[in-house]
Amino acid sequence: MTGLIAEAKAIAVLDACRRNGVLLATAESCTGGLIIASLTDIGGSSDVVDRGFVTYSNEAKHEMLGVPMHLITTHGAVSEEVAMAMAAGALARSRAGIAVSVTGVAGPGGGSTAKPVGLVWFGLALRRKQPIAMRRLFLDHGRASIRRAATNTALEWILEALSADQDR
């Protein structure tokens, strides 16, 4: 994802939040804050960006977002259950109306047969709705590539969710 494409997506997300009258929060693990950084790189983003949680460790996911430790020990940090709990926790601990979460294996190590490098789980939570999750397996073209792809996917998913919510 080139810088111009990323910037255009971030601008589109900010505009969609404004149209929908919602604040946005992020809960990031493998992206380490890249999603919130892409949004706050845009001047004027403070009117819709509420906060970003960088919860790289399991303890941070639990302490900052309230992710139950039993979910992490049972399913692993990189799982559908944890991604949904991260998004729900970011929503509950913010003033946001929409929250996105990302947890994955960016590499170069840390992968396994069950959870290979490039596996990323996303969570999305909207006020008054059940959180949902999405799984993606990105090609392993290196850590930076996986993190950029995850950031891009998260921005696209926020746009889709806000468009669908506005259509109702």
11: CATH: 3.90.950.20
H helix intervals, 32-118: 34-40, 58-65, 69-75, 80-92
61's tokens? 């996911």
The predicted structure's pLDDT at residue 5: 73
The predicted structure's pLDDT at residue 1: 47
The predicted structure's pLDDT at residue 164: 83
How many distinct structural domains can be found in the chain? 1
Residues 6+ apart with CB under 8 A from 7: 38, 41, 42
Domain limits at 23?
A: 3-167
- Identify which of 94, 34, 37, 93 has the alpha carbon closest to the alpha carbon of residue 67: 93
3-class state of residue 161 by DSSP: helix
pLDDT by 10-residue block (mean), the chain, 168 residues: 77 97 98 97 97 98 98 98 98 98 95 94 96 97 96 97 74
